[in-house]
Structure 1
Amino acid sequence: MIESWVINDDSPGPVLSEVVLEALRARIDSGQLETWLISSSGRSLAFVTNTERAMVMLLEEQGDPGEHAVDPGCEGSSDGFGLSNGQHDEYPDQDTVPIGEAFRLVEHIVGTGSWPADARWIVDR
């Protein structure tokens, strides 16, 4: 079976890799900076942005520390990562990626179920 993904809070059906970026951009434009996608196999893909950088996390199941995209060598931190509960977080820039890269990662994961071969990510388990 091919894994399918839905946006956790507003998707009536599966979101395809070809349109996931359009959905993310529409959510960002409406002020929704946190998006969770849930796969048919029970995995979760988190995308949290401040509109310039994003944290992208892939979790195997609920409670899994998961794995996340990184930008090795990047210094400093960025704030403004808005969560759906109203909280605004700050993350080290090395634990986030530029938003264009985050879009590429999400599109690839939704399309294939795995990180792109050239992606930089670490396992938090």
Structure 2
Amino acid sequence: MVESWVLAGGAAVVSAGNVTELLRARITGGALESVLESASGRTLFVVSNTGRAMVMLLEHPGDPGEHATDPGAEGWSDGYVLANGQEDEYPDADTVPLAEGLRIVRHLLATGRPPSDASWTVDR
């Protein structure tokens, strides 16, 4: 059974069919951090700098989680603005191009796991 997901603080269900449009609209509107919560207790964080995205999945509060990666990417990118105003920078190897991040999120919502062809690191 596929999990149901909501945008943190909201009641509207987010699905694989509408998540790309929702996240793109939020990013365009300046909300670079989105937190999706599942009915099973998992949390999916998506933080963008409009060009790249940090996509991180936690199984439960306190979980070190797992995240999408871009092996071989070099350098660092900044501009990842969190909802509290904090601006982060990440190694590009720990983020993915935005389009890839959205594809991964869409697949996670549809199947409960990242696509088999996506680079993914478990931090536990």
Normalising by structure 1, what TM-score? 0.96
Counterpart in 2 of 1:5? 5
**Aligned-CA RMSD value:** 0.9
Q: Does 1:75 align with 2:87?
A: no
Distance 1:112 1:50 in 2: 26
SS of equivalent to 2:61: coil
Q: Partner letter of residue 18 of structure 1?
A: G
Q: Any residues of structure 2 matched to 1:13-92 within 5 Å, and which?
A: 13-92=12-91
SS of equivalent to 1:91: strand
Q: Partner letter of residue 54 of structure 2?
A: M
Q: Which runs of 5+ in 2 are unaligned?
A: none
| Native 8 Å contact 2:52 2:97 kept in 1 | yes
Distance 2:118 2:97 in 1: 12
Counterpart in 2 of 1:122? 121
Normalising by structure 2, what TM-score? 0.97
Report how far residue 16 of structure 1 moved. Answer: 1.1
Aligned length: 124
Runs of 4+ in structure 1 deviating by more than 4 angstroms, as ranges, are: none
Distance 1:107 1:54 in 2: 14
SS of equivalent to 2:14: coil
